[in-house]
Amino acid sequence: MTKILLLHGPNLNLLGIREPQVYGHMMLGDINDKVKEHAAQYNVEITAKQSNHEGVLIDTLHEAREWAAGVVMNPGAYTHTSVAIRDAISATQLAVVEVHLSNVHAREEFRHHSYLAPVCVGQIAGFGWRSYILGLDALLGHLGLLDE
Ligand code: DQA
């Protein structure tokens, strides 16, 4: 069975109560359930993790090298700041799809730049919780695991 890491960065544990006008009303657990449900139809198993700590996210990526076929990641604000997470993605050579609930390009200027996007397979932003579903499909397609 193909195993995929679903990795959420800082403040995403507060989804549902955090700025719902921007990030929607769905809680993180509900999003994880939606992605797992969607993945099951492809016989893909999702392991979901969240951390507010840059180093823990890096350790999680390093460990994923051993077991994950790829990663769907919402790096939260670390998208716009973290050279260390970018280096972890490069170092592990993991296939990572960067996802965002909000359209970061339509928001404040500091959210327009991603340190991670250049070392990711691609980026999906602006579709609320469905960004994760689109991100998973994009990743599986990239890995050659979807029908043409
Ligand atoms: C986010 C966008 C980031 O700019 C922000 O810091 C987040 C959430 C999103 O999913 O839209 O924490 O990654």
- In terms of C-beta density within 10 A (0-12 exposed, 13-18 middle, 19 or more buried), how is residue 22 classed? exposed
Residues 6-19, mean pLDDT to the nearest whole number: 95
- pLDDT of 35 reads 98
Inside any domain, residue 134: yes
Task: Identify whether 74 is part of a domain.
Answer: yes
- Residues of the chain with pLDDT > 70: what percent? 100
Cα(69) to ligand 1 centroid in Å equals 24
Protein residue with its CA nearest to atom 1 in ligand 1 = 76
Question: Is 85's pLDDT higher than 80?
Answer: yes
147, part of any domain: no
**What whole-number distance in Å separates Cα of residue 62 and Cα of residue 82?**
16
Using the predicted structure, report yes or no on whether residue 109 has a pLDDT greater than 90: yes
In a domain, 118, yes or no: yes
Q: Which pLDDT value is given to residue 14?
A: 95
- The CATH number of whichever domain residue 122 belongs to comes to 3.40.50.9100
Number of structural domains (the chain) is: 1
- Domain range holding 94? 2-142
Catalytic site positions: 23, 100
Confidence of residue 24 (pLDDT cuts 50, 70, 90): confident
Flag whether 72 is in a domain.
yes
Ligand 1 contact, 104 CB (< 6 A)? yes
Lowest mean pLDDT among 20-24, 66-70, 80-84, 103-107: 20-24
Tell me which residue has its CA closest to atom 6 in ligand 1: 77
Please indicate, yes or no, whether the overall pTM of this predicted structure exceeds 0.95: yes
148 part of a folded domain: no
